[in-house]
Amino acid sequence: MSIVESLEKRRTYYNINKELPVREDEVIERIQELTELVPDAFNMKSARVVVALGEKQNQLWDAVYDAFEGQVPREKIDSFKAGAGTVLYDKNVVESFQKQFAFYADNFPVWANQANGMLQLSIWTGLRELGIGASLQHYNPVINGKVHELFSLPDSYVLLAQMPFGGIAGEPDAKEKEDISKRVKIEK
């Protein structure tokens, strides 16, 4: 499968379940492999992931619901909880690189975010290649404290996004083709 074909198959799947089409260890292997392969400026290795599975998956989404004190509908949270797992994307603070390379200090947080974005897309696409559906959620910073507590994360971890994933229980609606010339300008 080409990268274009893989990206075409990567969609936002909200209708997921706990029935993975592959073994859980294959999912973990894929996430580990992609985390190692995605580049990062100065080889910082700033992008971190926590994979919540089983009971931790359930506890995570219950904690998200609690953090919002009912302001997010239970049905929405439960649609993510229904998945087999969630990838939590964290950015490790890059202060040591900022001190070591002071000339670039302001760029390291930007570069770390870029690397994290590449990792998110890579894992999202890699999961889809395994026949798994996922979506990207952003309940941070409201849930940061609960996530740090639930997973015993150091303060240096900065939560950026959550990616619930699981077996595909329903396909998303067809995606409308856009006029790409509004976003891509070609000059010769």
The CATH superfamily label for domain 8-171 reads NADH Oxidase (3.40.109.10)
Spell out the alpha helix ranges (H) of 45-156.
54-67, 74-81, 95-100, 107-129, 144-151
Q: What is the pLDDT of residue 135?
A: 98
Model confidence pLDDT, tens digit, residues 129-176:
999 999 999 999 999 999 999 999 998 888 999 999 999 999 999 889
Helix, strand and coil percent figures for the chain, each rounded to 5: 45, 20, 35
Average pLDDT over residues 14-37: 98
**How many CB atoms are located within 10 Å of the residue 95 CB?**
12
Question: What's the angle, vertex CA 124, arms to CA 13 and CA 149, rounded to 5?
Answer: 90
- pLDDT band at 123, cuts 50/70/90? very high
**pLDDT above 90: residue 118:** yes
Give 137's DSSP letter: B
Question: What's the angle, vertex CA 140, arms to CA 135 and CA 144, rounded to 5?
Answer: 125
pTM for the full predicted model: 0.94
Q: What is the pLDDT of residue 156?
A: 84
Tell me how far the alpha carbon of residue 109 is from its chain's centroid: 18
Average pLDDT over residues 63-82: 97
Shortest CA distance to 80 belongs to which of 3, 7, 173, 13?
13
Model confidence pLDDT, tens digit, residues 126-138:
999 999 999 999 9
Q: Give the domain ranges of the chain.
A: 8-171
Rounded to 5 degrees, what are φ and ψ at 33?
-60, -45
Model confidence pLDDT, tens digit, residues 14-25:
999 999 999 999
Shortest CA distance to 36 belongs to which of 25, 24, 27, 48?
48
Give 22's DSSP letter: S
The CA distance from 151 to 83, in Å, is 18
The CA distance from 1 to 186, in Å, is 28
